[in-house]
Amino acid sequence: MNPPELRPQPVEGSDESLESRCVTAALDETESLLPPGSRINREPGAPLLVPEGVLDSFGILNLVAALEREADSAAGVHLGLVEALALPEEESPFRSVGDLEAWVRRRLEGGR
Amino acid sequence: MERSPLRGLVISDFHVGTLVNLLVRDEEEPRVEVSAAPFGQVFPTLMGEGPGSVGHDFALVWTRPEGVISGYAGVLEMQAPPLESILTEVDDFVARVVAFAERTGTVLVPTWARDPEDRGFGLLDLTHPEAPGHILRAMNTRLLEGLSEVPGVHVLDAERWVSGGDDRGSDPRLWHMAKVPWRPGVYRAAAGEVKVALRAMTGRSRKLLVLDLDDTLWGGIVGETGWEGLRLGGHDPVGEAYLSFQRAIRALSRRGVVLGIVSKNEERTALEALRSHPEMVLREEDFAGWRINWEDKAGNLLELVRELNLGLDSVVFIDDNPVERGRVREALPEVVVPDWPADPLLYAAALRGLHWFDQSRLSEEDRARAQSYSAERARRALRSDVGSMADWLDRLELTVEAALLDPSTLPRATQLLNRTNQMNLSTRRLSESEMTAWCEVPARRFWTFRVRDRFGDAGLTGLASIEVEGERARLVDFVLSCRVFGRQVEEVMLAVAAEEARARGGYVLEAAYLPTERNAPCLTFLRERSGMKEGEAGVYRLKLDDPIAIPAHVKLVGPA
């Protein structure tokens, strides 16, 4: 769950927060590289990983690379998601879209 | 006709899951089903070992230079072996690809590429004998020399995929995490180019470019300014741009693309501009046909395509007017109508960027196609001058040259077999190597037919093949280009096939007609002009008691 003290950071000229924009763009790209018919559920609580979600280990790696590029390009921040791949399941940011956004938000705030 | 998806295999020394997904997701024809050979098993797969190395329609062999040429891996660590030893490795790689292609048919081989951001030796990268840039160019040149003439093998330019703009190049993150060397944009470009190559190889290239005139082929409205007032050439950037566009069109025409005009204009005024403007690059004789009037362009386009005996799926239509483009798109969805830049200075570049005319081979017949269609216009004119069909045929001075298929005619014959839809008995599609293998059986014969008349040489435009089993002979392929329809070449081809069947002891020649959406002309020939009797299940039979007469107006040369 999102820590209560963290608030989404709105992007200038947009209602969407920076982390949300980065995650959405990365999910869009990752989805475009999946097998035909595969869709990533964008609900905050929806699982990302197989078997409940659609991302296998290769899909997650594409997501990591896409998200790093987005964060680097949008905020000049290195997210360090590669290290996050090794986290135990209960701490993993890849459990759901909401967890991923919260994780990215913390990293963006730490990087600014 | 809906065709089965092509089955493909990707052989690589890196992870190609993304490319496989993109190829399968692409809904453009031809649809493909693709699998990846086991990761990193390039040489075993090329040698036919391991699962999935057989039983596909095409293969893509996409490798990193350092992944398959160990000498190049040394180059990257400043331990370059002598260039000749690296090139010997390249020759070995080429030999394995050639052997693989002989077993499996169509093989696509992208050139070796590296990250465009990699500066190598910097200023010395192209000239220093140990520099990666210098050596990679030599390797790619050797690769091209080794593969460019191999039947069924096509070399693709991967340099364009990796350095074409946003989202291209390498991503070291993906490499270190997943052994994926390239960013997704590279795989998107690669998937697009593979599909273009497959379209070309399966006869789906577009053959006819239909152009609007005012503000498309030239600047201005000829009906208002007269040809003297058009913007074309001169000391004017816009006029120069239209000239460049016409030159780009002419270059396409010399590659075998037929040109047509559909324009809302007075025909007399428009043709006068083509004939009279001193800087006009394209003249009346460069166009196979036109519809220049005030009628609906979609209807005109349909009529023109019918006149030229082509299908709508062979057409690309270019018009500066978005409303006309929308109308043609809506009315004739099979026609490709590219979005077109509003700025005429971009027209030539836009044309050169179109992939719809890509060919897998460029034959002499392709080069001469435009003249061939002009000659056809002259024939039509003669036909309207003379009285009967027989008189017209007599005056054509038609020669048909029959010859058994050989290596020199194989590329053109394969192209014709895979591109012809209308006069096609079975619409069988084969690669060059499949065709060669088919002909190796002694009971089979495969002929090519060249056609010429007083107006020109149409080139290799007909194919026929038979298979003889005891007293029964089967006509397997019967293919004739629409360019030579209506001159009784079909009767000559059938006579050649029947005579050979008879000479081999055949008592009856059978032709199994396999209907498609496009090959009704073949059925008409079988029913009305072949002399064959219709049997069950679309099989037509011809008793081979006596030789079949060759039409009197035809001079038959061969077969040897």
Strands B289-293 and B398-404: unpaired
**Structure letter (DSSP) for residue B459:** E
**How far is B345 from chain A, CA to nearest CA, in Å?**
33
Mean pLDDT of the residues in chain B: 90
A33-71 core/surface letters (b: 16 or more CB in 10 A; e: else):
bbeeebebeeeeeebbbeeebbbeebbbbbbbbbbbbbb
pLDDT in tens, B51-110: 566 678 899 999 999 999 999 999 999 998 999 999 999 999 999 999 999 888 789 999
Which of A33, A68, A69 is closest, CB to CB, to B21? Answer: A33
d(CA B490, CA B495): 9
pLDDT tier at A8 (50, 70, 90 boundaries)?
A: very low
Rounded to an integer, the average pLDDT of A96-100 is 93
Angle separating helix axes B83-104 and B432-439, nearest 10 degrees: 60
CB contacts, 8 Å: A34 with chain B: 21
Q: Are B292 and B271 in contact (CB under 8 A)?
A: yes
Cα-Cα-Cα-Cα dihedral sign, residues A15, A21, A27, A28: positive
Contact (CB<8Å) A62/B184: yes
d(CA B327, CA B343): 21
- Check CB contact of A50 with chain B, cutoff 8 Å: no
- B155 closest CA partner among B95, B97, B84: B97
Which of B171, B177, B184 is closest, CB to CB, to A33? Answer: B184
Model pLDDT, residue A112 = 54
- B463 closest CA partner among B447, B439, B476: B447
Q: Is the pLDDT of residue B408 over 70?
A: yes
Which of B25, B177, B187 is closest, CB to CB, to A61? Answer: B177
Contact (CB<8Å) B15/A33: no
pLDDT tier at A3 (50, 70, 90 boundaries)?
A: very low
Model pLDDT, residue B327 = 92
CB contacts, 8 Å: B180 with chain A: 61
d(CA B297, CA B123): 55
Q: Comparing B1-5, B13-17, B453-457, B490-494, which segment has the lowest mean pLDDT?
A: B1-5
pLDDT in tens, B123-160: 999 999 999 999 999 999 999 999 998 888 999 999 99
Torsion of CA B506, B512, B518, B520, to 10 degrees: 80
d(CA B206, CA B406): 27
Strand partners, B106: B58
CB contacts, 8 Å: B39 with chain A: none
**How far is B176 from chain A, CA to nearest CA, in Å?**
10
Share of chain A above pLDDT 70, in %: 85
Q: Is the pLDDT of residue A12 over 90?
A: no
Contact (CB<8Å) B21/A68: no
The pair of structure tokens assigned to B112 is: 């070796």
Q: Could you give phi then psi for residue B57, rounded to 5 degrees? A: -90, -25
Q: Comparing A17-26, B167-176, B212-221, B298-307, which segment has the lowest mean pLDDT?
A: B167-176
Which of B18, B24, B184 is closest, CB to CB, to A36? Answer: B24
Q: Is the pLDDT of residue B378 over 80?
A: no
- Check CB contact of B168 with chain A, cutoff 8 Å: no
Model pLDDT, residue A7 = 45
Cα–Cα distance list, A78 to A28, A67, A82, B249 (Å): 20, 10, 10, 49
- Degrees to nearest 5, angle at CA B185 with B320 and B140: 100
Rounded to an integer, the average pLDDT of B312-321 is 95
Amino acid at B156: L
Q: Comparing A38-42, B25-29, B258-262, B290-294, which segment has the lowest mean pLDDT?
A: B25-29
- Check CB contact of A40 with chain B, cutoff 8 Å: no
Contact (CB<8Å) A58/B171: no
The pair of structure tokens assigned to A51 is: 């078997």
3-state SS of B150-214 is CCCEEEECHHHHHCCCCCCCECHHHHHHHCCCECHHHHHHHHHHHHHHHHHHCCCCCCEEEECCE
Amino acid at B505: G
Which of B22, B25, B177 is closest, CB to CB, to A64? Answer: B177
pLDDT tier at B368 (50, 70, 90 boundaries)?
A: confident
Model pLDDT, residue B301 = 96
Rounded to an integer, the average pLDDT of B347-372 is 86
Strand partners, B211: B261, B318
